[in-house]
A and B are shown apart, each in its own frame.
Chain A
Amino acid sequence: MTAPATFPMNPMTDTIFVNARLIDPAAGLDAPGSLLVSRGVIADHGGALAIPEGAEVVDCGGAVLAPGLVDLRAALGEPGAEYRETIDSAAQAAAAGGITTLCALPDTQPALDDAALVQFVVRRGEATGSLSILPYGAATKGCQGKEIAEYGLLREAGAVAFTDGTRAIANARTMRLALSYARAFGSFVVQHPEEPALAAGGAATEGELATRLGLPGITPAAESIMVARDIALARITGGHVHFAHVSTADALSLIRKAKQEGIRVTCDTAPPYFDLNETAIGDFRTYAKLSPPLRREEDRLAVVAALADGTIDAVASDHQPADPDDKRLPFAQASAGGVGLATLFGITLARVHAGDLALPQALELLTVKPARLLGLEAGTLGHGRPADLVLFHPERAWKVEAGKLPGKAQNSPFDGRALEGRVIGTWKAGRRVYG
């Protein structure tokens, strides 16, 4: 288990949140009440807490107070692509999005395949004062997909798990060794489930729309083939495989069945895959060019169903910052990926307003479920846990506008989307970092 990062605290004053609707999915709590923070940790919560002398009082005005979000998957510009985004600018976007813990992908420049680099990213996170950054270690040296990296040393340095980030671990033997070796350190391997040989050169999901637009297609089978293969490898190694941003009905069926068989498999998806379908790329909108590509409507509906039935274990931002120059290109040449930190919460709440998920269920996918997957203390309102909190109004309306989002990178696939549910404030270890 990774030690939580240490954050500057305000030991002099306690903070009490009053007049809140407290939701803690980990404890099945959804009730009006107060929550007391002392020395950066949650000291108490309940229906009617006495206000301690000298405590700062935050009147929540009936808004929801919940655990800060745990984002399983975000690419950061640092190290190596600071022109796209720095850790400081990502931390601003995260705070505005209610995210207090974030897992960073290791396919940076250089790749996070050395203990010193992992420690560097952890320290950079601590320096923000608002965001715990838990880096993934590279699954293979240089994220090149050939030789497994030093999982033991990386884990000691603070790596939460192992992945090659946006690159699939393509070689079956390498993936087998990774799953097997990660077991020794109680860890797991995160796969970008896309068979590269089938996806090479593709820009959109293969099908009628790609045909009409004249774009090279990626068959949805590129995802299900990789998922099927890795489930088989998890079975023979006893290792734990986690599939990132699952986006197709076929892959979700395979995962559902594997879970029923007791194979150690988990998965997440990202907001674009349950909020958008392939039509979002109409008129060659490169901000909607993602990896994996946006899918057909029936796949989007399958993702929604899998969120509701528990097949999907977490919703991650899948944040991929890009510079305008990365996107102002002909569609097939534009880089794939969208920013997601500021919209993770709002887009997920849209599923609540649509009636697909209950509010606590949506929060669970954003807090305690990813936290448990990673073995973290975060993600609940339990006594003694770090006071990482988000205060939000479930109905307050706002509109996503690329160009006006917090943080540097603005390449949102949700540009123009009207949303209900807005973050009012974010606290990290008891200290207000947003709102």
Chain B
Amino acid sequence: MLPFPHRHLLALQGLEPPYIADLLDLAESYALLNRSGKTQRDLLKGRTLINLFFEDSTRTRTSFELAGKRLGADVINMSVSTSSVNKGETLLDTASTLNAMHCDLLVVRHAQSGAPALLSQKVDAAVINAGDGTHEHPTQALLDALTIRRRKGRLENLTVAICGDVLHSRVARSNIHLLSAMNCRVRVVGPPTLIPAEAARLGVEVFHDMKAGLRDADVVMMLRLQKERMAGGLVPSAREFFRFYGLDAAKLAVARPDAIIMHPGPMNRGVEIDSAVADDPERSVIGEQVEMGVAVRMAVLDILARNLRRGARL
């Protein structure tokens, strides 16, 4: 296994394929370990992991917490409601506080794109981006890739359709970078009002017709449509969105018969996805995504902690 060339995990854009493959291989071994019921509590013993969440999240924070604990780290959760951020502390003040606490691994979620990158310049800890604004969510894309690879046996030459609110999605951006690097054919599908400008320049194919976008797809990745998007006028109504861009059996029928359905959660049933397909045990891998989330985060913590041990200046 190659030494990981970065101190932090801030983005997948620019991460070379061999390192992605290494991370997925290591995550795969943690997935097997987790299924066996064993733990490796000595690996991060004595390390402090802080979950610093400026945005509400239950599943991502829990997933990191579980990953840290299974590897033996001391895990602290700081959320915006209990921190001094509400009292006017700036991001960089927070950084000095964290340094004083000798934090080793810092997991950050923030509503502003680039906030984890800013923190990473000021803290001694290895920073893991757990979602920043509409920029990236690297561990989500890694867990998605691991889920796909386990189901399909490979990533190369698969057709992946990422559907819905691509414009506001950090999950979509991280997935586009990762899947393109691993030689998937990536499509984005959605109304023009929810597709970012010059999306095709990211190396994806853009579709505004859902059936055209799903045709012969191996993987259908749905994104969450936030209710604010309706209020912002980008989509006229939930019923229209569901009718034309919600995943239902009729639209799914044009994908490959063995196509899998993914969703980063939490789902809006009846808006972007119909319950009948979301709960289809043959097609839906949404439960497995959650399981792989813990394994992927264990792998990320492990790999970044190795660099801490070496005292590498990266």
Contacts and interface: CB of A to CB of B under 8 A. Distances in A.
Nearest to A237: B192
B102 interface: no
B193 A152 contact: no
B193 A146 contact: no
A149 B236 contact: yes
Interface stretch (A178-186, A246-254, A410-418): A178-186
B46 interface: no
Contact of A150 (B208, B233, B240): B240
A400 B272 CA distance: 57
B244 interface: yes
B279 interface: no
A177 B233 contact: yes
A73 B274 CA distance: 40
A152 B240 contact: yes
A184 B244 CA distance: 10
Contact of A153 (B192, B208, B233, B239): B239
B280 interface: no
A181 B208 CA distance: 9
Contacts, number: 43
B56 interface: no
A146 B233 contact: yes
Contacts of A239: 192
B244 A148 contact: no
A237 B193 CA distance: 9
A203 to B, nearest CB: 33
Contacts of B193: 148, 177, 180-181
B112 to A, nearest CB: 22
B209 A148 contact: no
B240 A184 contact: no
Interface string A227-258: 00000000011110000000000000000000
A173 B233 CA distance: 10
Interface in B192-218: 192-193, 197, 208-209
Which size class do B's interface residues fall under? 10 to 19
Nearest to B192: A180
Contacts of B192: 180-181, 183-184, 237-239
B233 A147 contact: yes
Interface string B160-180: 000000000000000000000
A181 B192 CA distance: 6
A238 B239 CA distance: 25
Given A153-B243, A181-B192, A147 B209 contact: no
Contact of A152 (B197, B233, B234, B243): B243
Interface string A147-185: 111111100000000000000000001100100110110
Contact of A183 (B208, B239, B240, B244): B208
Contacts of A183: 192, 208
Interface in B238-288: 239-240, 243-244
B131 interface: no
Contacts of A151: 236, 240
B226 interface: no
Interface string A66-89: 000000000000000000000000
B163 to A, nearest CB: 13
B239 A148 contact: no
20 contacts: A147-B236, A148-B233, A150-B237, A150-B239, A150-B240, A152-B243, A153-B240, A153-B243, A173-B233, A177-B193, A180-B191, A180-B193, A181-B191, A181-B236, A183-B192, A183-B208, A184-B244, A236-B197, A237-B192, A238-B192
Interface of A: 141, 146-153, 173-174, 177, 180-181, 183-184, 236-239
Interface of B: 191-193, 197, 208-209, 233-234, 236-237, 239-240, 243-244
Closest 5 pairs (CB-CB, A-B): A184-B208, A180-B192, A150-B240, A147-B233, A150-B236
